[in-house]
Amino acid sequence: MPHKFNADRRDKFPKTRYAVTNWSDYNEALRRRGDVTIWIEDGTAGKWSAPKRKGRGGRPKYSDFAIETCLTLGLIFHQPLRQTQGFVRSLLGLMGVELPVPDFSTLSRRTIGLSVVDDRPKSSGPVTLIVDSTGLKIHRGSGWQEVKHGTGKTRKSWRKLHIGYDPDSGEIIASLLTIDQVGDETALPELIAGIETPVARILADGAYDGTGVSNCLSEAFGPDVEITIPPPITAVPGLSDRRDAHIEHIAEHGRMAWQSATGYNARALVEAQIGRRKFVIGPRLNAREMDRQITENKITTKSLNRMTRIGRAVFKRVA
């Protein structure tokens, strides 16, 4: 139930409490996230150098795998590029592997257009897709100048992150980084374009309400896909039969009953995933240019999914 629905009498409702039922396994999974062997795959030495170029031209020294490995370690352990170079160099030395390490300028240059391979296992059946968006800070601005001296912002200081989340696997199956002016409805076609898994059900907030979204989802996943998007209070019937059914149910039973009947409350899971991204990786992007930020977001998504596969918490309500 939305917090604002009972905001004026919040003190009369006890806070819901949950307990982790697999604490031993989840605790070990949290430890393993700090294990560097999780982030450095077996057979690294054989994939570290770039393959020979078949045509004319120079050959890069490092493969995309080597660049991605270094950038992933720097992102997970919150190291700038120079410190990342020293960090990876020391890890390879401790492992007894004699490999050259890309310097910080090479890492920065190769970030643009880097091919990040998606290693998610394919789903065995249709999934539920929950979509949402959030803002990520850039340029390392803290707002101190504006607060202290009352000056206005001279440039945009954030990007917009759109994600598609699978609540069953707990993984992000679609991710898109755009400028802040791109709306949720506008970004949706590109967000779902790369999803190869069949989707049976879609949950989204009111920002996605509209005929264009419904048509886009039906074309991408078939006419039988179940779309659950809350219409606004001022909504009137006429756009589609599916939307009209939602409006009639809300008018007859109320919005809270509609949320329970349709399972719309599960959309809170994608908000929790957004909070997890900002807590584990950080609320801002490290790169300054858009091309590098796109690669950074791809590596972030892949790293979070790998953490999920290591182990997830299982909750049950206790009060």
Per-residue model confidence (pLDDT) at position 44: 84
Asked if the model's pLDDT at residue 304 lies above 70, the reply is: yes
pLDDT of residue 119: 84
Look-up of token digits 């560097």: 36
pLDDT in tens, 40-71: 877 888 889 888 877 776 778 999 999 999 99
What tokens does 102 get?
């890309």
Identify which has the larger pLDDT, 86 or 140.
Answer: 86
| Residue 170 banded pLDDT, cuts 50, 70, 90 | very high
70/88 Cα distance (integer angstroms)? 7
Q: How confident is the model at residue 242 (pLDDT cuts 50, 70, 90)?
A: confident
Q: Lowest-confidence range among 52-66, 81-95, 244-258, 269-283?
A: 52-66
- Whose tokens are 């910080």? That residue is 104
| pTM for this model (two decimals) | 0.88
CATH 3.40.50 is right for the domain spanning 127-145+156-285: no
The region of weakest confidence among 6-15, 162-171, 203-212, 242-251 is 6-15
Q: What is the DSSP string of the chain?
A: --GGGGGGGGGGSPPP-EEES-HHHHHHHHHHTT-HHHHS-TTHHHHSBPPPPSSSS---SB-HHHHHHHHHHHHHTT--HHHHHHHHHHHHHHTT-------HHHHHHHHTT------PPPPSS-EEEEEEEEEEE-TT--SHHHHHH-PPPSS--EEEEEEEEETTTTEEEEEEEEETT--HHHHHHHHHTT--S-EEEEE--GGG-SHHHHHHHHHHH-TT-EEE-PPPTT--S-S-HHHHHHHHHHHHH-HHHHHHHHTGGGGHHHHHHHHHHHHHT-SB-S-SSHHHHHHHHHHHHHHHHHHHHH----EEE--
Rounded to a whole number of angstroms, the distance between the first and last alpha carbons of the chain is: 16
Query: At residue 102, does pLDDT exceed 80?
Result: yes
Q: 74 φ, ψ to 5°? A: -65, -35
pLDDT at 159 exceeding the cut of 70: yes
Q: Which residues pair with residue 166 across a beta bridge?
A: 171
pLDDT for the residue numbered 118: 85
Give the residue extent of every domain in the chain: 26-111, 127-145+156-285
Burial class (CB in 10 A: 0-12, 13-18, 19+), 130: buried
Percentage of residues in the chain having pLDDT higher than 70 = 91
Question: pLDDT tens across 109-152, in order?
Answer: 999 999 998 888 887 789 999 999 999 998 655 565 666 666 66
Rounded distance between C-alpha atoms, residue 162 and residue 179, angstroms: 11
Residue 288 pLDDT greater than 60, yes or no: yes
The 10s digit of each residue's pLDDT in 183-233 is 999 999 999 998 988 999 999 999 999 888 999 999 999 999 999 999 988
- Tell me what pLDDT residue 109 has: 94
- Average pLDDT across the chain, whole number: 88
The lowest-confidence range among 22-36, 149-163, 274-288, 304-318 is 149-163
What pLDDT, on the 0 to 100 scale, is given for residue 297?
96
Residue environment code for 237-253, b if the CB has 16+ CB neighbours within 10 A, otherwise e: eeeeeebeebbeebeee
Q: Strand 18-20 and strand 127-137: pairing?
A: unpaired
Whose CA is closest to 159, among 288, 300, 279?
288
